[in-house]
Amino acid sequence: MTDRIPGFSTLAIHAGAQPDPSTGARVTPIYQTTAFVFDDVDHAASLFGLQAFGNIYTRITNPTTAALEERVAALEGGTAALAVASGHAAQLLVFHAMLRPGDNIVAGNKLYGGSINQMNHSFKSFGWEVKWTEATDPQSFADKIDENTRAIFIESLANPGGVVTDIEAIAAIARDRGIPLVVDNTLASPYLCRPIEHGADIVVHSLTKFMGGHGNSMGGVIVDGGTFDWSASGNYPMLSEPRPEYSGMVLHETFGNFAFAIACRVLGLRDLGPAISPMNSFLILTGIETLPLRMQRHSDSARKVAEFLSGHDKVEWVSYAGLKGDPYHSLQQKYMPKGGGAVLTFGVKGGYDAGVALVSNVELHSHLANIGDTRSLIIHPASTTHRQLTDEQKTAAGAGPDVVRLSVGLEDVEDIIADLEQALSAV
Q: Candidates 12, 58, 80, 171: give the one binding other proteins (CB under 8 A).
A: 80
The answer to whether 268 and 383 have CB atoms below 8 angstroms apart is: no
Instruction: Establish how many alpha carbons lie within 13 A of residue 333's alpha carbon, considering only the half-sphere containing its beta carbon.
Output: 8
What residues between 8 and 67 interact with other proteins by CB under 8 A? 10-11, 14-16, 18-22, 24, 26, 36-39, 43, 46, 49-55, 61, 63, 66-67
Distance CA 153, CA 106 (A): 6
Please list the alpha-helical segments (H only) found in 215-347.
237-240, 251-255, 259-263, 270-272, 278-288, 291-310, 329-335
Angle of helix 278-288 relative to helix 63-76, nearest 10 degrees? 40
The answer to whether 156 and 184 have CB atoms below 8 angstroms apart is: yes
Distance CA 125, CA 418 (A): 48
Number of shown-chain residues binding other proteins (CB under 8 A): 56
Instruction: Quote the least distance from Cβ 407 to other proteins, whole Å.
Output: 28
Instruction: Quote the least distance from Cβ 22 to other proteins, whole Å.
Output: 7
Categorise residue 24: left if φ over 0, alpha if ψ from -120 to 50, beta otherwise: left
Q: Is the peptide bond before 160 cis (omega within 30 degrees of 0)?
A: yes
Instruction: Quote the least distance from Cβ 72 to other proteins, whole Å.
Output: 9
Decide whether 55 or 86 has the Cβ nearer to other proteins: 55
Residue 78 binds other proteins, judged by CB under 8 A? yes
Instruction: Quote the least distance from Cβ 388 to other proteins, whole Å.
Output: 38
Categorise residue 49: left if φ over 0, alpha if ψ from -120 to 50, beta otherwise: alpha
Instruction: Quote the least distance from Cβ 1 to other proteins, whole Å.
Output: 5
Instruction: Quote the least distance from Cβ 84 to other proteins, whole Å.
Output: 11
Decide whether 261 or 404 has the Cβ nearer to other proteins: 261
Q: Which of 348, 346, 333 is nearest to 299 (CA)?
A: 333
C-alpha distances in angstroms, 144 versus 109, 125, 233, 376, 400?
Answer: 12, 22, 19, 39, 28
Decide whether 223 or 406 has the Cβ nearer to other proteins: 223
Decide whether 92 or 223 has the Cβ nearer to other proteins: 223
Instruction: Quote the least distance from Cβ 399 to other proteins, whole Å.
Output: 36
Pattern 218-257, binding to other proteins, x per CB under 8 A? ------------------------x---xxxxx--xx-x-
Pattern 333-372, binding to other proteins, x per CB under 8 A? ----------------------------------------
Sequence-distant (6+) residues with CB within 8 A of 152 are 105, 106, 107, 141, 145, 170, 173, 174, 179, 180, 181, 182
Applying CB under 8 A, the residues found at the interface with other proteins are 1-3, 6, 10-11, 14-16, 18-22, 24, 26, 36-39, 43, 46, 49-55, 61, 63, 66-67, 69-70, 73-74, 78-83, 242, 246-250, 253-254, 256, 258, 261-262, 265
